[in-house]
A and B are shown apart, each in its own frame.
Chain A
C-alpha cells in the first residue's frame, strides 16, 4: 500500500491497524462525491479540498485546483478523499471536534471561489453519525 493509499484510508498509522481503520478515518466521501471529483479532475486536473467556516457560505468544503490554496502549519491534513487532500484549520477542527466528515454533493451553487461539483451541484460535508431526518413542519 502506498502512503497515499494509506492516507486515503485515514493515515498510515490507522491503516496499519487493519479492521479498526474504517472507524478512524477523519474524512471519507460518498460515491456521489467520488464520481463528482472524477468528473471534475478530468477537466481541471488535480484538486484539493479546504473546509471553510464563518459568514455566509461558511461550513462548506471548498474545492480548488491542487495548490491553489496555500496551507500552513496551522492547517491540518485531515486525510485524502477520492485522491484529493482535505485540509481544515487546526483550531477550527478542535472547536468543531466533528469526529468524521463525509464529503457529499447536493444541488446548489458552490460557495466562495470553490469549483462546482458538476452542473447545478456543490460539495458539502456531513458529520458521520448524525442522521439527516425529514424535518418538514
Chain B
C-alpha cells in the first residue's frame, strides 16, 4: 500500500506550516523570530518551517529544564517508569503516524519505520522503565560500626544532540535512559530532520511534567555549540561525525562534564565458506545479511559497508547477492513495497556520488549501481541513488571512510587470520558481522573483531538490552542497555558510622 504524503488532505499526518520549539511543555517561538525550511528528500520540496533558533532559545530551554529538575529528580522510580511506559503506549498507538512522518522527512522506506524504528522506539522506553525499577544499589558493611550506602542520583540537566538517520529512534535511545535516571533534557535534533521529533513531542509531550523534555531546533554551529558549551549542562550525548565529537569532548573538558559519543564506523561483514555448505534458509539469511548494507539506504553508523568473503565462495555467493541487490525497489518511501527511499539530503547524495568517483579513480571494479537512481515523475528531484557494489582492496579509500550511503565495498580473504586482519584494518570499531555454520569460529572471530557490537549470523538488529557503542574512534559509552543509566547518574556514597566513640585524633 501507499500512504498519502503528509500535509495532503487524506494523509494520516497533519502538517502545520510552521513549528516552534518545544520548551517547558509549551510551543515557544524562537526569540529572534527566524525559521528555516524543512525539505522532503523524496521531492526536494518543503514540508514545513521549523524554528531557526539562536543561543537565547537554548538558554530558555535550559531555564525550563533547571526549573523542573529537582522535582523530576525526586520522583520515585515507579512514577518515572509509569511516565516512560505511557510514552511507549502513546508511540505504539500512533505507530503509523510517526512511521509516515519519519519516513517522509528522512527518506527511509515506511516498511522500515513501521516494522523497526517506531516499535523499537516504544520498546526502548519500556526497557528503561523496567530497568530503573529493577535498579538496585549496593550497601557494604565495611566493619561492625561502618556502612557504605551507595545511591544513584540524577545528573540534573543534560544536553543531547540527535543525528538525522533515525530521527525518532535515536532520540528514544537518548531520552529514555536520561529521563529514567531522573534527568531533564534539552535536545537539539539534526538540522536536516527537526520535524519528526516535534511530531513525537505533540504525541508524548503531555505525558511528562513541563521542562523535563525540551527540544530546540536550528543550526549546529549556533545552538549545538551553545548547548554543548553551556556550563548549565551536566552531561552531553552526541551521535555524529568525528570532528564534532572531538569538539564536544573539548567543550566538556572545559566544563568538566562527562560525554557519551557515537561517531560512526566502517563495519566489516565476514562470510566464511561454510555459509554455502547447504542451499537452505541459513544461506538465504546470509545473502540477505550482505544486502543489509542497503538498509535505511546505507545511512546507518553500523552499515555493513565492507563485505569480506572467503575467496573460494566469492563467485557463487556474490552471484546470489547481486541477484538480490538487483531486486531492491527504489522509490516512494511511503510505498510499503519500497526497499530504498532517497538519501536524506542533496549534500549526502553529492557525497555518495563523489565516493563512487573516488572508487573508480582508485581502480575499484563497479559490480552494481553507481548512479543517481532515476525514479522520475513526481520524484524526479528527489535524492535517490542506486544500490551500489564495488570490488576492491581494503586499502582503498572507499573501504576506509564511512560513505553513509548504499555503497558496498567487497573484498576476499583466504583464511580466518586474514579475515580478522582486514576487518580490523580500520580507524573505526562500531559494528561487525560474522557468518558461519561453525559455532567455535563464530565466537573466535566475533571476539577478534575490535568493535563494540558484533552480530553473529544476523545483522542490523537493535534490541533493547544489547549494549551498543564503539571501540577506537567510534565513540565512548554504551547505549540501549541498562549500563547507560550509569552514564546518566552519579553515585552518592553515604558513609555511616554507628560508633558512639570519637576517633581520638584531637
Chain A residues in the interface with B (C-beta under 8 A): 50-60, 62, 64, 68-70, 89, 91-92, 95-98, 106-116, 122, 124, 126-127, 129-133, 135-137
B378 to chain A, nearest CB (A): 16
Given A108-B347, A133-B357; A116-B241 close (CB under 8 Å): no
Q: Which of B344-364 contact A (CB under 8 A)?
A: 345-347, 350-351, 353-358, 361
Which residues of the partner chain A approach B324 to less than 8 Å between Cβ atoms?
none
Interface size on B, residues (CB 8 A): 57
17 contacts between A and B (CB under 8 A): A52-B241, A53-B242, A54-B265, A54-B474, A59-B403, A59-B404, A98-B397, A109-B347, A111-B347, A112-B221, A113-B244, A114-B221, A124-B347, A127-B354, A127-B358, A127-B361, A132-B353
Which residues of the partner chain B approach A64 to less than 8 Å between Cβ atoms?
247
Q: In terms of DSSP, what is the predominant structure of the interface of chain A?
A: loop
- Point out which of A91, A98, A113 has the most chain B C-beta atoms below 10 A from its C-beta: A113
Chain B, 191-223, contact with A by CB distance < 8 Å: what is the 0/1 string? 110000000000000000000000000011100
Q: Which of B53-61, B136-144, B367-375 contacts A (4 or more CB under 8 A)?
A: B367-375
By the criterion CB–CB under 8 Å, are B221 and A110 in contact?
yes
By the criterion CB–CB under 8 Å, are A126 and B354 in contact?
yes
Which residues of the partner chain A approach B262 to less than 8 Å between Cβ atoms?
55
Cβ contact of B241, chosen from A111, A131, A132, cutoff 8 A: A111
Cβ contact of B401, chosen from A58, A111, A130, cutoff 8 A: A58
By the criterion CB–CB under 8 Å, are A58 and B404 in contact?
yes
Given A55-B402, A56-B239, A130-B358; A112-B244 close (CB under 8 Å): yes
Which residues of the partner chain A approach B243 to less than 8 Å between Cβ atoms?
50-53, 62, 69, 112
Cβ contact of A112, chosen from B165, B224, B250, B350, cutoff 8 A: B224
Considering the chains assembled together, what is the distance between the CA atoms of A87 and B153 in angstroms? 41
Considering the chains assembled together, what is the distance between the CA atoms of A89 and B472 in angstroms? 14
Interface membership of B245, Cβ < 8 A = yes
B346 to chain A, nearest CB (A): 6
Considering the chains assembled together, what is the distance between the CA atoms of A74 and B280 in angstroms? 49
Chain B residues in the interface with A (C-beta under 8 A): 163-165, 190-192, 219-221, 224-225, 228, 239-247, 250, 262-265, 299, 301, 345-347, 350-351, 353-358, 361, 370-374, 386, 397, 400-404, 426-428, 473-474
B254 to chain A, nearest CB (A): 10
B169 to chain A, nearest CB (A): 14
Closest partner residue, chain B, to A63 (CB atom) = B221
By the criterion CB–CB under 8 Å, are B353 and A109 in contact?
no
Cβ contact of A56, chosen from B264, B354, B358, B373, cutoff 8 A: B264
Given A53-B242, A107-B346, A136-B372; A69-B221 close (CB under 8 Å): no
Given A54-B402, A69-B250; A113-B221 close (CB under 8 Å): yes
Closest partner residue, chain A, to B248 (CB atom) = A113
By the criterion CB–CB under 8 Å, are B244 and A132 in contact?
no
Which residues of the partner chain A approach B246 to less than 8 Å between Cβ atoms?
69
By the criterion CB–CB under 8 Å, are B247 and A69 in contact?
yes
Which residues of the partner chain B approach A110 to less than 8 Å between Cβ atoms?
219-221
Considering the chains assembled together, what is the distance between the CA atoms of A70 and B241 in angstroms? 16
By the criterion CB–CB under 8 Å, are B163 and A113 in contact?
no
Closest partner residue, chain A, to B369 (CB atom) = A135
Which residues of the partner chain A approach B403 to less than 8 Å between Cβ atoms?
59
- Point out which of B220, B242, B243 has the most chain A C-beta atoms below 10 A from its C-beta: B243
By the criterion CB–CB under 8 Å, are A57 and B241 in contact?
yes
By the criterion CB–CB under 8 Å, are A115 and B221 in contact?
yes
Closest partner residue, chain B, to A131 (CB atom) = B357
By the criterion CB–CB under 8 Å, are A132 and B190 in contact?
no
Which residues of the partner chain A approach B191 to less than 8 Å between Cβ atoms?
109
A32 to chain B, nearest CB (A): 15
By the criterion CB–CB under 8 Å, are A137 and B373 in contact?
yes
Which residues of the partner chain B approach A111 to less than 8 Å between Cβ atoms?
220, 241, 244, 347
By the criterion CB–CB under 8 Å, are B242 and A54 in contact?
yes
A47 to chain B, nearest CB (A): 12
A51 to chain B, nearest CB (A): 7
By the criterion CB–CB under 8 Å, are B372 and A54 in contact?
no
By the criterion CB–CB under 8 Å, are B247 and A113 in contact?
yes
Given contacts A55-B165, A58-B264, A108-B346, 5 further A-B contacts (CB under 8 A): A54-B245, A55-B264, A59-B404, A69-B250, A113-B228
By the criterion CB–CB under 8 Å, are B361 and A130 in contact?
yes
Considering the chains assembled together, what is the distance between the CA atoms of A68 and B301 in angstroms? 26
A43 to chain B, nearest CB (A): 13
Considering the chains assembled together, what is the distance between the CA atoms of A137 and B427 in angstroms? 33
Cβ contact of A96, chosen from B372, B400, B404, cutoff 8 A: B400
Considering the chains assembled together, what is the distance between the CA atoms of A115 and B361 in angstroms? 30
Given A52-B242, A111-B241, A112-B240; A58-B402 close (CB under 8 Å): yes
Which residues of the partner chain B approach A132 to less than 8 Å between Cβ atoms?
353-354, 357
Which residues of the partner chain A approach B247 to less than 8 Å between Cβ atoms?
64, 68-69, 112-113
Closest partner residue, chain A, to B399 (CB atom) = A95
Given A53-B402, A55-B301, A112-B241; A135-B370 close (CB under 8 Å): yes
A134 to chain B, nearest CB (A): 9
Which residues of the partner chain A approach B299 to less than 8 Å between Cβ atoms?
56
By the criterion CB–CB under 8 Å, are A137 and B404 in contact?
no
Nearest 8 CB-CB pairings of A with B: A55-B264, A137-B374, A54-B264, A112-B244, A108-B347, A52-B243, A58-B241, A95-B400
A107 to chain B, nearest CB (A): 7
By the criterion CB–CB under 8 Å, are B347 and A106 in contact?
yes
Given A89-B242, A109-B219, A111-B241; A56-B404 close (CB under 8 Å): yes
